Amino acid sequence: MGGPIPKQFMLVKGKPLLCWTIEAFHAFDPAMPIIVVLPEAQVSIWKALCIGHGFLIEHQVVVGGEERFHSTRNGLAAVKGDGLVAVHDGVRPLVSKELIARCFAAAEEHGAAIPVMPITSSVRQVDGDSSKAIDRSMLRAVQTPQCFRVELLRKAFEAPYDAAFTDEATLVERHGNAIHLVPGEENNVKVTTPIDLRIAEILLA
């Protein structure tokens, strides 16, 4: 965002973006244990925001790490028992109950499932000063929640950190597990720019 406030704490319709995201999962299943992973310096800020905005949905806060890999691993360590787990971007507040259900159902059947969307823009692969067109029909944009059987994800995170692991599905796939793709949603916007924030405000309205 380029501003002093972390994007997950920016206000949308009067409350922090992260509140909306947590509410989406709570609406899907009020009994679902929710773990929020934040940088250590942001934990006290988040707790103050929850008090200030009267945000009462129960959740556990875990301190993150240097990269997404380490943060997810820390969050996973707080997951009790087996079953299914979803890893979701805190700044995707518009995820629907239907999409969450699809991802969990596919993970239960296949072990690992992620939502994806077709690429609508033309794309090119760049190599130094040259480039070539890529068939966009063969590409998909990845969203979250990325859902897995807990034991499968735990096993994958026994591996050492590798910068090539850009998300949990990449790590699980490296360990020989197929990733099942489910249809994502256009409204499942990841808020990374001021324009995204404005879109989220409009859709949440």
Domains by residue range for the chain, with CATH: 7-204 (3.90.550.10)
Task: Give the whole-number percent of the chain exceeding pLDDT 90.
Answer: 95
Rounded Cα distance, 104 and 107, in Å: 5
Q: What is the pLDDT of residue 86?
A: 98
pLDDT digits 0-9 by tens, 17-43: 999 999 999 999 999 999 999 999 999
Q: What is the 3-state secondary structure (H, E, C) of 51-90?
A: HHCCCCCCCEEEECCCCHHHHHHHHHHCCCCCCEEEECCC
Q: What is the pLDDT of residue 205?
A: 82
Rounded Cα distance, 52 and 40, in Å: 20
Tell me the pTM: 0.93
Q: What is the pLDDT of residue 3?
A: 77
Q: What is the pLDDT of residue 204?
A: 87
pLDDT at 89 over 80: yes
pLDDT digits 0-9 by tens, 112-165: 999 999 999 999 999 999 999 999 999 999 999 999 999 999 999 999 999 988
> Dihedral of CA 73/77/82/86: which sign?
negative
